[in-house]
A and B are shown apart, each in its own frame.
Chain A
Amino acid sequence: MTKPHPLETRVVSRRFDQPDAHTLAGYLASDGFRALDKALAMAPEAVIEEVKASGLRGRGGAGFPTGLKWSFVPKQSPREKYVLCNADESEPGTCKDRLILEYDPFAIIEGMLIAGHAIGARRGYIYIRGEYRYLLDRMERALAEARAAGYVGKNIRGRGFDFELHAHTGAGAYECGEESALMESLEGKRGIPRLKPPFPAVSGFMGGPTVINNVETLASVPAIILNGGAWFAAFGPPKNGGTRLFCLSGHVRQQGVWELPLGFPLRKLIEDIGGGLRDGARLKAVVPGGSSTPLLPADTAWNIHLDFDSVAKASSFLGSGGVVVLDESTCMVKFALRIMQFYRHESCGWCVPCREGTQWLQTSLTRFHNGGGRAADVDLMKEVSENILGRTFCALGDAAAMPTLSILQHWRQEFLDHLAGKPCPFGARTSAAGAH
Chain B
Amino acid sequence: MSPFSPQLEARFRELMQRYPARRSALVPMLLYAQDELGWLTPEAVRRIAELLGETELAVREVIGYYSMLRTEPAGKYHVQVCTNISCLLRGGDELYAHCERRLGIGHKQTAADGVFSLEEVECLGACSWAPAVQVNYDFHQELTLEQLDKILDAYAARARGADPSQGQGGAGSPGPRTALPVDGSGSRGEAALGTRVQEKS
Binds B, one of A59-67, A146-154, A251-259: A251-259
Name the interface residues of B59-91: CB closer than 8 Å to any CB of A.
Answer: 61-62, 65-69, 83-86, 88-90
- Name the residue on B nearest A97 (C-beta): B125
Q: How long is the Cα–Cα vector from A271 to B184 in the complex, in angstroms? A: 26
Could you show 14 A-B contacts with beta carbons less than 8 Å apart?
A90-B123, A95-B125, A131-B124, A172-B66, A172-B68, A247-B128, A249-B128, A250-B90, A256-B189, A257-B188, A431-B93, A432-B108, A432-B120, A433-B120
- Which A residues have a C-beta under 8 Å from some C-beta of B? 1-3, 19, 80, 89-95, 97-99, 102-103, 123, 129-134, 137-138, 166, 168-174, 185-191, 206, 247-251, 254-257, 287, 291, 322, 324, 326, 330, 334-335, 338-339, 342, 345-346, 348, 426, 429, 431-433, 435-436
Binds A, one of B22-30, B143-151, B152-160: B22-30
Q: How long is the Cα–Cα vector from A372 to B159 in the complex, in angstroms? A: 45
In the A-B complex, list the 10 residue pairs whose CB atoms are closest, starting with the nearest.
A432-B107, A172-B68, A188-B26, A172-B67, A1-B184, A188-B23, A171-B66, A249-B86, A92-B123, A190-B65
Determine if A94 and B31 form an interchain contact, defined as CB atoms under 8 angstroms apart. no
| A131 and B137 in contact, given A256-B189, A429-B97, A436-B107 (Cβ under 8 angstroms) | yes
Determine if A93 and B65 form an interchain contact, defined as CB atoms under 8 angstroms apart. no
Q: How long is the Cα–Cα vector from A129 to B179 in the complex, in angstroms? A: 15
| A188 and B52 in contact, given A256-B188, A433-B121 (Cβ under 8 angstroms) | yes
Q: How long is the Cα–Cα vector from A1 to B192 in the complex, in angstroms? A: 13
- Which B residues have a C-beta under 8 Å from some C-beta of A? 18-21, 23-28, 30-31, 52, 61-62, 65-69, 83-86, 88-90, 93, 96-97, 106-108, 119-130, 134, 137, 139, 142, 177-181, 184-185, 187-189, 201
Q: How long is the Cα–Cα vector from A196 to B129 in the complex, in angstroms? A: 36
Q: How long is the Cα–Cα vector from A330 to B21 in the complex, in angstroms? A: 49
B21 — which chain A residues lie within 8 A by C-beta? 187-188, 206
| A324 and B179 in contact, given A189-B62, A247-B127 (Cβ under 8 angstroms) | no
A348 — which chain B residues lie within 8 A by C-beta? 65
- Name the residue on B nearest A17 (C-beta): B184
Main secondary structure of the interface of B (DSSP, over half): loop
- Name the residue on A nearest B86 (C-beta): A249
Determine if B20 and A134 form an interchain contact, defined as CB atoms under 8 angstroms apart. no
Q: Tell which of B119, B122, B178 has the most Cβ of chain A within 10 Å.
A: B122
Determine if B83 and A95 form an interchain contact, defined as CB atoms under 8 angstroms apart. no
Determine if B27 and A170 form an interchain contact, defined as CB atoms under 8 angstroms apart. yes
Determine if B89 and A249 form an interchain contact, defined as CB atoms under 8 angstroms apart. yes
- Name the residue on B nearest A190 (C-beta): B65
B85 — which chain A residues lie within 8 A by C-beta? 92-93, 250, 287, 291, 324, 335, 338-339
Determine if A171 and B30 form an interchain contact, defined as CB atoms under 8 angstroms apart. yes
| A138 and B180 in contact, given A80-B20, A190-B62, A256-B128 (Cβ under 8 angstroms) | yes
Q: Tell which of A102, A123, A133, A188 has the most Cβ of chain B within 10 Å.
A: A188
| A92 and B108 in contact, given A172-B69, A426-B93 (Cβ under 8 angstroms) | no
A432 — which chain B residues lie within 8 A by C-beta? 96, 106-108, 120
B137 — which chain A residues lie within 8 A by C-beta? 131, 133-134
- Name the residue on B nearest A164 (C-beta): B18
Q: How long is the Cα–Cα vector from A9 to B103 in the complex, in angstroms? A: 45
Determine if A131 and B134 form an interchain contact, defined as CB atoms under 8 angstroms apart. yes
A80 — which chain B residues lie within 8 A by C-beta? 20
Say how far A200's CB is from chain B's closest CB, in angstroms.
16
| A92 and B65 in contact, given A133-B137, A134-B180, A256-B188 (Cβ under 8 angstroms) | no
Say how far B119's CB is from chain A's closest CB, in angstroms.
8
| A435 and B107 in contact, given A99-B187, A131-B124 (Cβ under 8 angstroms) | yes
Determine if B31 and A169 form an interchain contact, defined as CB atoms under 8 angstroms apart. yes
A170 — which chain B residues lie within 8 A by C-beta? 27, 66
Say how far B20's CB is from chain A's closest CB, in angstroms.
5
A102 — which chain B residues lie within 8 A by C-beta? 180-181, 187
| A433 and B83 in contact, given A133-B178, A137-B178, A171-B31 (Cβ under 8 angstroms) | yes
